[in-house]
Amino acid sequence: MLDLLRFGSDGWGDEIARGAGMTLAVAILAYLIGILAGSGVAAAKLSGPAPVRWLAAAYTTIVRGVPALLVIWLLFFGGSGLINWVAGLFGYGGRVDLSAFAVGVAAVGIVSAAYAAEVIRGAVKAVPKGQLEAARALGMGRFLILRRILVPQALRYALPGLGNVWQMTLKDTTLVSVVSLAELMRQAYLGMQSTRQPFLFYVTAAILYMIMTTCSEALFRALSRRAERGVRRTVTN
Partner 1 sequence: MNIDMILTSLPGLLSGAWVTVQLVVLSLSLGFVLALFVAFGRLSSNRAVSGVTGVYVFLFRSTPLLVQIFLIYYGLGQFAAIRESFLWPVLREAYWCAILALTLNTAAYTGEIMRGGIQAIPFGQIEAARALGMSRLMLYRRIVLPQALRTILPAYGNEMIQMVQATSLASAITLIELTGAARTIASRSFQPVEMFVIAGAIYLTMTFAITQGVRWAEKRTAAG
- Binding residues (CB under 8 A) for partner 1: these are 61-62, 65-70, 73-74, 77-78, 81, 170-171, 174-175, 177-178, 185, 188-189, 192, 196-199, 202-203, 205-206, 209-210, 213-214
- Whether 191 and 4 have beta carbons less than 8 Å apart is answered as yes
Which residue, 166 or 209, is less far from partner 1 as judged by CB? 209
Which residue, 64 or 148, is less far from partner 1 as judged by CB? 64
Instruction: State the nearest-atom distance from the C-beta of 28 to partner 1, in Å.
Output: 16
Report the alpha-carbon distance of residue 42 to residue 44 in Å, rounded: 5
Which residue, 96 or 192, is less far from partner 1 as judged by CB? 192
Instruction: State the nearest-atom distance from the C-beta of 179 to partner 1, in Å.
Output: 11
Instruction: State the nearest-atom distance from the C-beta of 167 to partner 1, in Å.
Output: 9
Output b/e per residue, 24-47; b: 16+ Cβ within 10 A: bebbebbbebbbebbbebbbbbee
Report the alpha-carbon distance of residue 175 to residue 70 in Å, rounded: 10
Question: SS3 of 214, please?
Answer: helix
Give the Å distances, CA to CA, from 74 to 28, 71, 129: 22, 5, 41
Which residue, 14 or 118, is less far from partner 1 as judged by CB? 118
Which residue, 120 or 135, is less far from partner 1 as judged by CB? 120
- How far out from the chain centre does Cα 195 lie? 33
- Whether 196 and 190 have beta carbons less than 8 Å apart is answered as no
Instruction: State the nearest-atom distance from the C-beta of 12 to partner 1, in Å.
Output: 16
